[in-house]
Structure 1
Amino acid sequence: MADKIRLGIIGANILRGWAPRSHLPAVVASSEFELTAVCTTRQESAEECRQKFGARLAFDDYQKMLAHPDIDAVVVSLRVPSHYEPTVAALNAGKHVYTEWPLGRTTAEAKEMADLAQAMGVRNMVGLQARANPGILYTKDLVDSGYVGEVMSCNMSRIEGGVLERTSDRTWTKDMDMGANTLTISCGHSIDALRFVVGDFTHVSSVVSTQAKEWVESDTKLMVDVTSPDNILVSGRLANGGVCSVHVANNPWAGSGFHIEIYGREGTLLVSSERAPNTHTVRLQGVREGNTLADLEVPEKYTFVLEGMPQGEPYNVGQMYYQFGQGISSGESCQPDFNTAVELHRFIDNIREASELGREVAVNGGK
């Protein structure tokens, strides 16, 4: 393998999507990876990306990119329904793979990809970037080391605005079966951060609701019917005995951002952000055996990237690239991997099932 890991990105259109906002600037600033190739569905747009971000190669067919001998690892950053085929192709080509979250459109797709990755013996990572956020990493260690003592209760909320209107190139998410909606993405990322910090649920009750049943396409002025949920409420019990409540929503106007509140027998922790834990920094406050919260500074050891890594959306992706690179170089597993994704897919299935049945359900068949 070359001095740097040679990376190809599938879904590298510079005009839209997640890659130009996060992956492309992150890999350019990475010390572990070389941006070797970019791939879109048109050679013209691939060439535009190659020139803007300094890649060596540009492709309009991911199969041709996967066949190139200079590619060690691949990123799949596409719409959720398009994750499966290029991820499977990359795994079958023996490449290390980083695929964005949600891993698959369904849990079955995610499980098939996870099983294939294990069979091929390659490193694999899923884009649950909150697990690489320095503030979330520090919060997890504080809880694990007993800062709050026994976790008695916790609450997580992520409330955003802007549900009623979007451009026509984004209304494909109106269909719940596409796998990209408030339940899988906003709730998926946020509740994953919560579970990463305080541990798994054993039982959940939930309401999964579509409050805005129509959207306006801002460019065409058409009204489109919506089946994707925009409000998710979850209550349940944690494996450690604590109780927990969750509200994740995309409402018409200004939201309150992201919050995790953790209340223990010996202290309290509060994590907050105006945006999301997977895409932006968080503020951490805490107190032990007292009633006045104070800001807690995140130690430098939780920062893996170089100073040149752009802040905002590329930052946690850059943190993920460091972990991905370490896994590839060492041959050890890197987290979060495809098996982590399958666990989260199954938990989201439990949330949906509890809402449909109108009763509490055991998580992943647990007791």
Structure 2
Amino acid sequence: MPEEKIRIGIIGANANYGWSMRAHLPALLALPEYELTAVCTSSSVTAAESAKAYGARLPFHDYQEMVTHPEIDLVSVSVRVPLHHDMVMAALDAGKHVFCEWPLGANLEEAQRMASLANSKGVTNMVGLQAQGAPAILHMKDLICHGYVGEVLACNMTMFLPGVLQRGLSMPWMADREKGGNTLTIGTGHAIDALCFCVGEFKEISAKVATQVTEWETSEPGKTVPVNSADNVLISGTLVGGAVASAHIATIPWHGSGWRMEVYGRDGTLTASSQEMIQYGNITIHGARKGEDRFVEVPIPDVLTHIPSDVPMGAPFNVAQIYRTLGQAIKDDSKTMPDFDFAVDRHKLLDAMEQSSMADGKTVTL
């Protein structure tokens, strides 16, 4: 007898634009353990279009109706950050399992409320820090844990991507730091999560959170919006294991160099790089050990890919990897990672960066 599928409803499932269209929908349609049961958008017209395009039985334009529907097991929230809290809380109140994109909330307090309710409801939950599902990042972590570089002494990470010089034309809401979607929360959140996943958590941290571009253009010719959200984040600190670490994440250049992480140990060095954002870019690993004279590319074992071969590369790939992990946890009635409690810890790390920056770079102990 075939195993029952997990019936999922996606909030933010517009068929014409958005992260769901780019990542969630292609990922879920390729995973046999899921049934795309429902889609929810902001209007009945686009909801019907999306349902037809992706084969969902139930179109909604009111998320409250979708999250309370008895034929939904799991709710996925993939909308703008300021909308996460109310939608997630409604789904949790309805007793549904929940996946929410990163950042979990627009601030730490929202994230804490969501995590608290998820725990009290006893439902399986996950936050979309999908770099933790990337085969290359999984392999990087394994190599470090199994001594490829020996004792980790230092780690450096950079991520320079095209961003705010272009972004303001279509996403002016991100100019306001209170909305919770910017280079600190999104770009730095994803990148620093990958660093910590591989080499360990920060024990203490110092940071500079800066806004270098203070006006964005809008879609209305000649009109600009003031900006107070971050576009540059510089970090230095000490990890729990004793290594020192630094990072610079920026979204201001027209042409960025992409993402790169370097890990230096007593017995060797590992580097990982991508031309895109860490969470969906194609990552290449190189390494060199003590006594070797040059870096060589390190192959990524196929066993770290847990999804069908027809999942598209790019944005859907790592999303599918963590959806598979989530699906297994739902079937096993168990916790999974990264969950909402984990997301709260990441929000605390971002808050520590802001606290340090506001205190002229004073070191914050975590």
What secondary structure, in the 3-state scheme, does the structure 1 residue paired with 2:251 have? strand
Q: What amino acid is the match of 1:58? A: P
Match of 1:263 in 2: 264
1:27-66 equivalence runs, <5 A: 27-66=28-67
Match of 1:329 in 2: 331
Percent identity over the alignment is: 46
Kept in 2: contact 1:130–1:277 (CA 8 A) = yes
Residues 2 and 36 of structure 1: CA distance in aligned 2, closer, same or farther (over 3 Å):
farther
CA distance, structure 1, for counterparts of residue 185 and residue 256 of structure 2: 19
1:162-199 deviations in whole A, cap 9, x for unaligned?
42233544111001111000011011100110000000
Residues 330 and 12 of structure 1: CA distance in aligned 2, closer, same or farther (over 3 Å):
same
CA distance, structure 1, for counterparts of residue 43 and residue 3 of structure 2: 28
Residues 359 and 163 of structure 1: CA distance in aligned 2, closer, same or farther (over 3 Å):
closer
What secondary structure, in the 3-state scheme, does the structure 2 residue paired with 1:83 have? helix
CA distance, structure 2, for counterparts of residue 52 and residue 133 of structure 1: 28
Give 5+ residue unaligned stretches, structure 1: none
1:56-91 deviations in whole A, cap 9, x for unaligned?
110111111122211110100010000001101111
Matching residue within 335, 348, 351 for 1:349 = 351
1:281-296 equivalence runs, <5 A: 281-289=282-290, 290-296=292-298
CA distance, structure 1, for counterparts of residue 224 and residue 256 of structure 2: 23
Q: What amino acid is the match of 1:316? A: N
CA distance, structure 2, for counterparts of residue 17 and residue 6 of structure 1: 22
1:271-323 deviations in whole A, cap 9, x for unaligned?
00000121122101111113411111111111011001011101111001100
Q: CA RMSD of the aligned region, Å?
A: 1.3
Give 5+ residue unaligned stretches, structure 2: none
What secondary structure, in the 3-state scheme, does the structure 2 residue paired with 1:246 have? strand
**Which of 353-362 and 112-121 deviates more?**
353-362
Q: What amino acid is the match of 1:343? A: D
1:167-246 equivalence runs, <5 A: 168-246=169-247
Kept in 1: contact 2:217–2:224 (CA 8 A) = yes
Kept in 2: contact 1:168–1:220 (CA 8 A) = no
Q: What amino acid is the match of 1:39? A: C
Residues 201 and 143 of structure 1: CA distance in aligned 2, closer, same or farther (over 3 Å):
same
What secondary structure, in the 3-state scheme, does the structure 2 residue paired with 1:164 have? helix
TM normalised by structure 2 equals 0.97
1:184-241 deviations in whole A, cap 9, x for unaligned?
1011100110000000111111111101111112553312111011111001111111
Matching residue within 280, 304, 307 for 2:306 = 304
Match of 2:322 in 1: 320
1:92-121 deviations in whole A, cap 9, x for unaligned?
111100000000011011011011111111
Q: What amino acid is the match of 2:190? A: H
**Which of 298-307 and 216-225 deviates more?**
216-225
**Which of 212-221 and 92-101 deviates more?**
212-221
State the aligned residue count: 364
**Which of 171-180 and 351-360 deviates more?**
351-360
1:10-89 equivalence runs, <5 A: 10-89=11-90
CA distance, structure 1, for counterparts of residue 327 and residue 138 of structure 2: 18
Shift of 1:16: 2.4
CA distance, structure 1, for counterparts of residue 316 and residue 81 of structure 2: 19
CA distance, structure 1, for counterparts of residue 282 and residue 97 of structure 2: 28
Kept in 2: contact 1:167–1:219 (CA 8 A) = no
Kept in 2: contact 1:165–1:217 (CA 8 A) = no
Shift of 1:41: 1.6
Shift of 1:2: 6.7
The list of structure 1 runs, each at least 4 consecutive aligned residues, that deviate by more than 3 angstroms after superposition, is 165-169, 218-221
Shift of 1:250: 1.0
CA distance, structure 2, for counterparts of residue 126 and residue 35 of structure 1: 19
What secondary structure, in the 3-state scheme, does the structure 2 residue paired with 1:75 have? strand
What secondary structure, in the 3-state scheme, does the structure 2 residue paired with 1:84 have? helix
TM normalised by structure 1 equals 0.97
Matching residue within 344, 360, 365 for 1:358 = 360
Kept in 1: contact 2:208–2:361 (CA 8 A) = no
Match of 1:103 in 2: 104
Q: What amino acid is the match of 2:191? A: S
1:257-280 deviations in whole A, cap 9, x for unaligned?
000000000011000000012112
What secondary structure, in the 3-state scheme, does the structure 1 residue paired with 2:164 have? coil
CA distance, structure 2, for counterparts of residue 234 and residue 146 of structure 1: 26
CA distance, structure 2, for counterparts of residue 344 and residue 332 of structure 1: 21
CA distance, structure 2, for counterparts of residue 188 and residue 215 of structure 1: 22
CA distance, structure 2, for counterparts of residue 204 and residue 22 of structure 1: 33
Q: What amino acid is the match of 2:363? A: V
**Which of 50-59 and 216-225 deviates more?**
216-225
